[in-house]
Amino acid sequence: MNKINKLFAERGDKKLLSLYFCAGCPTLEGTADVILTLQRRGIAMIEVGIPFSDPLADGPVIQSAATQALKNGMSLKKLFSQLQTIKDQVEIPLVLMGYLNPILHYGIEAFCQSCVEAGVSGAIIPDLPFDDYLNIVKPVADRYDLRIIMLITPETSEERIRFIDDHTDGFIYMVSSAAITGTQKSFDEQKQAYFRRINGMNLRNPRMIGFGISNAQTLKAAQDNAAGAIIGSKFVTLLNEACQEETADGHYAEVAVDRLMEALAK
């Protein structure tokens, strides 16, 4: 069974936490250590960002991380090589998140095959048109048992959401707002109404809520209204800060997780 499906089948308690970080940032060779640290600390699923020079859906924190990762020398080929070294140690789902351009350059078939060889369970491609997903990407991904995760936003129509639910597997990435990535102090009534509306649709796929989660209030709102929460910008910021501190030494991922948990308790 695909690890994503296995996770939701075994732990459908609506309290899951997934973390995102950009491969190759803050250091080129730190990707494997971050993944193993997060697994050891009980994170349910990890999204590994593929750095790209024009990340349109991302806010300044993740844009900066992608820029730094590219400067460090990170590439898709390098990332797959790093993931292969820890494949046998990783038990939780790994999901690659990246834009279509570098994946097309790598080749759809080659990408899916490399994902399997590196122990990757799924991919999120924010700018992948749904028709291209259905006609081009999905048939290849299905052969490799790779889950392609689609996003929905408050502006996505009910008809479209149900169509996505019918033609995808794994989970649906529920974007909390139509804005770019970044932290928020709370989710207003409009966002809460959006959460309730999607809850009322009784979708087949579980949902994970991301964008804007950085404290106890936003975490609780996400976990109360979906299978769990995805945190990106906040964790990327903490990773970078910990790496820059001499006291963090080589254990900056551990320090960053500690600080994230402190923030999520407030």
Residue 231 parent element (H or E): strand 228-231
Report how far residue 238's alpha carbon sits from residue 15's, in angstroms, rounded to the nearest whole number: 22
Q: Please report, as a single letter, which amino acid is at residue 95.
A: V
What are the structure tokens assigned to 242, written together? Answer: 């910990």
Q: How far is CA 262 from CA 39, 234, 238, in A?
A: 18, 12, 11
Strand order in the sheet with 16-22: 147-149, 122-124, 94-97, 45-49, 16-22, 228-231, 207-210, 172-175, 151-152
Q: Is 13 a catalytic residue?
A: no
Of 10, 13, 47, 127, the active-site residue reads 47
Q: How many helices (H) and strands (E) does the chain have?
A: 13, 9
Q: Is 47 a catalytic residue?
A: yes
Pairing of strands 45-49, 94-97: parallel
Of 29, 58, 246, 262, the active-site residue reads 58
Q: Which residues are catalytic?
A: 47, 58
